[in-house]
Amino acid sequence: MDFINELSQRNQALFVFGLLCLLGSVATGILSLTTNTEVWGINAYIKPFKFFISSVAFSWSMAWYLGYLDHPKTNMIYTWVVIAVLTFELGYITYKASIGELSHFNVSTPQNAFMFQLMGIAISIMTLFTLYIGVLFFTGTYASLPPSYLWGIRLGIICFVIFAFEGGLMGARLSHTVGGPDGETGLKLLNWSVKYGDLRVAHFLGMHALQLLPLIGFYLISSSKQIILVSILYTIICTAVLIQALLKLPLIKG
């Protein structure tokens, strides 16, 4: 409860937005269990469910980190950019799920192609802005923060940005599967391919460095050198998983 109270005080707008995303995940989770609409052989609402959960993690993480920055105008602009971009993306993904159509990689009509490109542009703007927030953590003074935690935030944001832009590789290919078609047999819920390479694995692992590395830096490690080393190793693992996918190999063969 203390965490929730603190989070709401640090950035009320992102806190409330995260709550709405949490409600969205509940709604789409229920729809995934109660409807028969499918895309690529799985319930269409699984995808928006996962995106809503991811948006909760992202918006609340950034709300927490922004609380350390003494840049109120930048914080405000960034907050509303995040809310606008994710509202657009989540709304479109959910709408396409409701009619049983792909949201990503869908260029079947000029309108679908335009919307897919617009999503890519919007997410790129938000990601670049997130990189700028990361730069502020390198250039400012944060004497009240444990050094290992501060480096966890810095490198967590950098790793997030790198592997968020890996999504551009999937967009350019109009596919996340390497060596076979999208929509083949995948791991339960995650749906990562168990037959071919899947670019979503590195995308997922790299982006969630945003939460993982700061937590490690705060709770498990007290040395700046150690968290830097852990961050390097984690980035190497994410890169290795990306290379594995490009070599058409699944993370877990089924």
pLDDT (tens digit per residue) in 176-232? 999 999 988 889 888 999 999 999 999 999 999 999 999 999 999 989 999 999 999
In terms of domains, do 133 and 156 share one?
A: no
What is residue 82's predicted lDDT score, i.e. its pLDDT? 98
| pLDDT over 70, % of the chain | 100
Which domain-ending residue is among 140, 171, 206? 140
Range(s) of the domain holding residue 11: 1-140
d(CA 64, CA 211): 11
Instruction: Find out whether 55 and 126 touch, Cβ atoms under 8 Å.
Output: no
Same domain for 14 and 118?
yes
Query: Pick from 194, 202, 196, 195: which is nearest to 170 by CA?
Result: 202
Distance of CA 66 to CAs 72, 101, 156, 162, Å? 9, 36, 14, 20
* Over residues 8-21, mean pLDDT: 97
Same-domain pairing of 7 and 130: yes
Mean pLDDT is lowest, of 69-83, 118-132, 173-187, 218-232, for: 173-187
CB 247 within 8 A of CB 198: no
Q: Does one domain contain both 28 and 113?
A: yes
Query: pTM of the entire structure?
Result: 0.96
Query: Among residues 120, 140, 160, which one ends one of the domains?
Result: 140
What mean pLDDT is predicted for residues 78-93? 98
